[in-house]
Structure 1
Amino acid sequence: MLQNAAQTYQSNQVTTATPAELTLMLYNGALKFIKQVKIALEEKDIIKAHEGSLKIQDILYELMSTLNSDYEISKEFARLYEYMLQRTIEANIRKDVEILLEVEDLFIQFRDTWKEAMLLAKRQG
């Protein structure tokens, strides 16, 4: 029962979110999965680590697919997302936490910058 309520809440949150909020959710989701992968690697749970890595990759694909190529900055984002994707794949293949930490740091920077941009946009709007 509680699980259903949580799923309904989460579903409603996604369907009512603005594109900016959805992007923030993707960043936060990636950070959550990175944490899970790090724990799985510590516990030598290779399958769980692999599954989490695939979820991170899916998020990066989603972020890349939503970029608006009309803006020059989108090309920079695309390059960074592609780099993060390659590093995530490499971390998964090697089961390397250090590489994952690099990707995590980039996601934190993206998330924090995005949150700040959302706040600035709210103040100006």
Structure 2
Amino acid sequence: MINSPYQKYQQTQLQTAPPAQLLLMLYDGGIRFIRNGILGIEEKDYEKTNTFLCKAQAVIHELIASLNQAYPIAKNLLQIYEYMIRQLIMANMKKDKAPAEEVLTYMLELREAWEIAAKTANATMDQNK
């Protein structure tokens, strides 16, 4: 049950967001979780590290689930996502921030690419109206 107005707002936002916006929201969450996991490693708070790196893995699993296999790029993205999950597992097991920082770099680059693609698609749709 949703209690707070903020939670109701978040639920409404998720239910009404276009697919491109949902994808960007996933990336934003994953980026935030990875940053918090890295912070946990730096603080030697390994419970925090585990919690946030596992949440980041869950986000990447959602990105995998969202892939449309009808497009050839989906296979490449799947390989990248699987690599990122392995790196996050490694960072979590070894409490080494370097693999997590590598994944953070990829997530930031992919988010930027999807944002540009979404803006381009929206501009094209607007021109065709």
Q: Give TM class, smaller chain.
A: over 0.9
Shift of 1:31: 0.5
Deviations 1:78-98 (A, max 9, x none): 010011111111111111111
Partner SS, residue 22 of structure 2: helix
- Partner Cα separation in structure 1 for residue 9 and residue 35 of structure 2: 23
The within-5 A match list for 1:95-114 is 95-114=95-114
Spell out, residue by residue over 1:74-116, the C-alpha distance to the aligned partner (whole angstroms, 9 max, x if none): 0011010011111111111111111111000000000000000
Contiguous gaps of at least 5 residues in structure 1: none
Equivalence map 1:15-94=2 (5 Å): 15-94=15-94
Count of residue correspondences: 123
Residue 20 of structure 1 and its aligned partner are, at CA, apart by 1.1
Identity %: 37
Code of the aligned partner of 1:75: K
In 2, the alpha carbon distance for the partners of 1:8 and 1:118 equals 26
Secondary structure of the residue aligned to 1:69 is: coil
Q: Which structure: larger Rg?
A: 2
Instruction: Output the CA distance in 1 between the equivalents of 2:33 and 2:98.
Output: 15
Deviating above 6 A after TM superposition, structure 1's stretches of 4 or more consecutive aligned residues are none
Deviations 1:51-80, CA, capped at 9 Å, x for gaps: 101101101111111111111110011010
Letter in 2 for 1:100: A
Unaligned runs of 5+ in 2: none
How far 1:48 moved relative to its partner? 1.1
The CA RMSD over aligned residues, in Å, is 1.1
